[in-house]
Amino acid sequence: MNTLNTADIIAGRYQIIKILGHGGTSITYAANDLQLGKPVALKVLSLHRINDWKVLELFEREAKILANLEHSSIPQYIDYFQVETEEEKAFYLVQQLAPGKPLFDWINEGWHPTIKEVLIIAAQVLKILVYLQQLTPAVIHRDIKPQNIIRSDDGKIFLVDFGAVQDTYQNTVTGGSTIVGTFGYMAPEQFRGQAVLSTDLYGLRTTLLFLLTGQSPADLPQRQLKINFKSAIQLSKHYADWLERMIEPVSAARFTSAQQALEALLGKSLPPCPLIYKRPKNTAIQLTQTINKLIVDIPSTLLNSPQSFWLGMAPLFGSVFSLVVIYDLIFQVVEPGLRLQQEVEVYFRTLMVMLSFQMAASIWITATKSLLFSGIFHTRIEIMTWQEIKVVKSLLNFWNIKSEFTADQNISEVRLEQYKLLFWKFTNFYCALKTGSKKLKFGLFLSRDEKVWIIEEIRRFIETSKNNQN
């Protein structure tokens, strides 16, 4: 597509004034709405500039999302249309023009904001994010950066460019990696094609660092993926801790929402940082995660667990104990009270022994079956969504028992539950995924650290899966 010229009129209504910026596949112009007599921002996408239909899909999605947003700090949606000529076909997105210029331009032109001014900007952006996150479904911007935050002369902030609001289109950066966002301002999970509510908080935090230091966050020193900013700027402990929390590499360690981050910024105490569960040392469990699937491979653990021997023997001890108790109860208490004749006594004793043995055997079989299936098989659990789960158990790599675990509702609980057999409770726990009336149980013989790690990873995957589908 050829660049539009000043004074060109599009669709008989929008007169071009100047270029505002170039995107990867689109160009944004300042234009005058001849019908309303107001300045507008005109974003143009030409089919000649794209080589992936996902780009057009994303452009259309941006228009649909903007059409449903209503916030004073988000430029109002005006129109979406296409113009087709003999030479090309182009799509146009029209919004109210935000007064002012990007924070990136303010800094490049010599503006040195005070810490107070930066915190005011942070509060304004957080209020916009609170609005977006309270929508149903929640909207994640995914590209918070200085170029997409407009500041007017009187200090009012506007958030623009919702082109990355969904991660269906991914730009190739280096080494074949595909991501959505802008390098230096992207949260680590975006490199995996994922985004959660706290993803935008990471982008805001790196933007604030740019305002405070005048440097790209990518140029600041890092340690274990965490930006070390304290050597570059001087902040009070409260604000330093607040910024530290915003930029945690692990999304679960950040504030859970913009509302929580805003409350902490405005003077309330910081909420406790959630525990981050790491992979236990020397574990044989394998977790494999993609955008759409989490696979949990649990090898046979019956002989490896320190509790497995005693738990394995528990059914036998329990059944023998039950047999002895029942025998004594019948022949030492019940029978003497009945005062049976010798012939009847023989039949009575035979019947009681058979019933006692049957009850004890039932306890032993039930418990043994439960314990064997918990520990002797290799278990593979595939979680595709928060409703679709597949479980495969195998013995010696050749005998497979496949079971489709289809939830009757969304997964409502992922937790540890105490192991219970009939009326007895044990000190051991298993992992449980509850969906309505159904429950998937596994991992009885794993160590507690392994169980907690698996539970937290499944919780995190389900949360991410829900946010991505929203």
Q: Count CB atoms within 10 A of the CB of residue 48.
A: 12
Taking the C-alpha atoms of residue 444 and residue 178, their distance in angstroms, rounded to an integer, is: 39
What φ, ψ does residue 101 adopt, rounded to 5°? -145, 160
Contact 35, 94 (CB under 8 A): no
Residue given tokens 């899966």 in the structure block: 465
Report whether the peptide linkage leading into residue 137 is cis, meaning its omega lies within 30 degrees of zero: yes
Q: What's the token pair of residue 249?
A: 């590499």
- Three-state SS across 338-391? HCCCHHHHHHHHHHHHHHHHHHHHHHHHHHHHHHHHHHCCEEEEEECCCCEEEE
Q: Which of 143, 161, 167, 200 is catalytic?
A: 143
First and final C-alpha spacing in the chain: 33
Q: Is 281 annotated as a binding residue?
A: no
| Helical packing angle, 342-375 and 308-328, nearest 10° | 170
Q: What's the token pair of residue 395?
A: 């013995």
Q: Give, as one character, the DSSP assignment of residue 331.
A: I
- Three-state SS across 21-60? EECCCEEEEEEEECCCCEEEEEEEEEHHHCCCHHHHHHHH
Q: Exposed, middle or buried: residue 158 (CB in 10 Å: 0-12, 13-18, 19+)?
A: buried
Q: What's the token pair of residue 229?
A: 């900013």
- Bridge partners of 101, per DSSP, are 151
Q: What share of the chain is helix, strand, coil (3-state, %, to 5)?
A: 40, 25, 35
One-character DSSP codes across 172-207: E-STT-EESS-TTT--GGGGGT---HHHHHHHHHHH
User: Is 143 annotated in the active site?
Assistant: yes
Contact 92, 44 (CB under 8 A): yes
Contact 380, 451 (CB under 8 A): no
Contact 149, 207 (CB under 8 A): yes
- Counting every residue written for the chain, the total comes to 470
Residue given tokens 């903007």 in the structure block: 66
* Residue positions annotated with a catalytic role: 143
Residues making up the binding site for ATP: 43
Residues making up the binding site: 43
